[in-house]
Amino acid sequence: MKSHSVSSNTIAPKRWWYIMPIVFITYSLAYLDRANFSFASAAGINDDLGITKGISSLLGALFFLGYFFFQIPGAMYAERRSVRKLIFVCLILWGGCASLTGMVSNIPALAAIRFVLGIVEAAVMPAMLIYISNWFTKSERSRANTFLILGNPVTVLWMSVVSGYLIQAFGWREMFIFEGIPAVIWAFAWWVLVKDKPSQVGWLSDAEKSALQAQLEQEQQGIKAVRNYGEAFRSRNVVLLCMQYFCWSIGVYGFVLWLPSIIRGAGTAGMGMVEVGWLSSVPYLAATIAMIVVSWASDKMQNRKLFVWPLLLIGAMAFLGSWLVGADHFWVSYTLLVIAGAAMYAPYGPFFAIIPEMLPRNVAGGAMALINSMGALGSFVGSWFVGYLNGATGSPSASYIFMGVALLASVWLTLIVKPARNQHVPVAAHHA
C-alpha cells in the first residue's frame, strides 16, 4: 500500500500553486477587516464617539457573538451546496461592513455593524476548511490548513504597520474605509478563479483528477461511520476539542485585540501609532515562522497532538512570565509577549487536521464549524474580559494571568483527547 501514500505527494503539485494563494488572500482580507478595530481603539475611536472602557471591550467582542451563531449554518451550506457562492457573497458584505465602520457617528450603529460583520465572516473559516479537505489529502492537510490560517498572523503583521501609517496620515475613519475596499474587489476575482471540486476544473488532467479522487475516497474508508451531525457533536473528542478551542481562543483574541493598547500603555513616553504598529507586528512575524515549521513537522510525523499542547504550554508560561516581570520592565515583558504570540499561533495547522482524520466527510465540516464556534465564544470572552480587566485594573497584569490560565486549561484538554489513529490503520494497510 505504500505506493499510494507516495503517489499522493506527487498528485498534481500545481494544486498548491493555484489554490493556496487564493485561500491565503481570501482569509487575509477577512482577518484584516476583523483586527483593524484594535488599531482604532488605540487611535481614539473611543474619544471621538464617547465610548467608555467597558463599552469599548464589548464592541470589540460583539463581532464574535455574530460569529458564534452563524458558524454551523455557514458550514452546512458550504458542505451541501457551494463554498464558491457562499464566499463570494460574504466577501462583498464584509468589505462593505468594514468600510461602513469608518462612517458611523454613534455607538448603536457601530455595535450593529460589528455584530453583522461577525455574522458575515462566520462562514469563512469552516467553508475554507471544507474547501481544503476537497482538494488535499491527509498527508498534506496540516500544511494546507496552515497556509489558510497564515492569513491571520501575516495580515496582522502588515496591517499593524499599514494601519499605523493610515491612521497617522488620515485618521481611523479613513483606515476603515480604505481597508474594506480590497475585499469587494477580490470577490470578483474569487468568482472567476475558484471551483468547488477538482472534477470541475480544466487545469487538472483526467488522470490527476481520478488519482486525487481515489486517494480522498480511500482515506474515508478507514474512518468509522457517523450517521449525522447529532451523533458527531455528542462524541467525546468533539466535545473536548470544543472546550479546548474555547480556552485557547481566550488567549489568542485577548492578545490580538488588546496588544496595540497594551504596548501603547506600557511603552515609553511619546510612542506614536507608527511605533506601536511596528512593535505590534513582531509577534506575528515570529508566529508566521513557527506555524510553517510546526505544520511541516506535523505532516511529516503524522502526530497532531504532539504539535499542539507543548506550544500552548509555552504560551501560557510566557503570559505568566510577563505578569511576574511586571510593567516596569517593558522590553523583557514585550519579548515574552512575542514568544506567547508565536506559541499560540503555531499549532493551528495540526489542530484543524485532527477533525477530518477522526470524522467522516459527511459530518467533518459541521464538527469543524461547531469547534470554531466555541472558539468564537472563547474569543468573545477573551476580547471582552481582557479589555475589561485592563480598564478596571489600569494595567495588563491581571489579563496576563487570565490568558495564561486559559491556555493551561487548553493544554490539559488537548492531552485527554484520545487519538483516532487506531481507526486509520485500514488506510495505510488493510490488515486481517
What string of pLDDT tens digits covers the 432 residues of the chain?
333 443 445 678 889 999 999 999 998 888 887 778 878 877 778 888 888 877 877 887 788 888 888 888 888 888 888 999 999 999 999 999 999 998 988 889 999 998 999 899 888 888 998 899 889 888 888 888 888 888 888 887 888 788 888 888 898 899 999 999 999 999 999 999 999 888 898 888 899 899 988 888 888 887 788 878 888 888 888 999 999 999 999 888 777 777 777 777 765 556 777 888 888 888 889 999 999 999 888 888 888 888 999 999 999 999 888 888 876 777 888 888 899 999 999 999 899 888 888 888 778 888 888 998 999 899 888 878 887 887 888 777 888 888 899 999 999 999 998 865 444 333 333 333
Which residues have C-beta within 8 Å of that of residue 109, sequence separation ≥ 6?
none
Which residues have C-beta within 8 Å of that of residue 393, sequence separation ≥ 6?
none
Long-range contacts of 106-110, Cβ-Cβ distance < 8 Å, separation of 24 or more: 106/49, 107/49, 107/50, 107/51, 107/55, 107/59, 110/49, 110/59
Report the alpha-carbon distance of residue 92 to residue 186 in Å, rounded.
8
Specify the DSSP class assigned to residue 136: -
Report the alpha-carbon distance of residue 110 to residue 102 in Å, rounded.
9
Residue bearing cell 458542505: 79
Q: Cell for 363?
A: 459530518
Report the alpha-carbon distance of residue 331 to residue 324 in Å, rounded.
13
- Give CA 202 to chain center in angstroms: 31
pTM, to two decimals: 0.79
Question: Which domains, and CATH codes, for the chain?
Answer: 16-199 (1.20.1250.20), 229-419 (1.20.1250.20)
- Give CA 257 to chain center in angstroms: 13
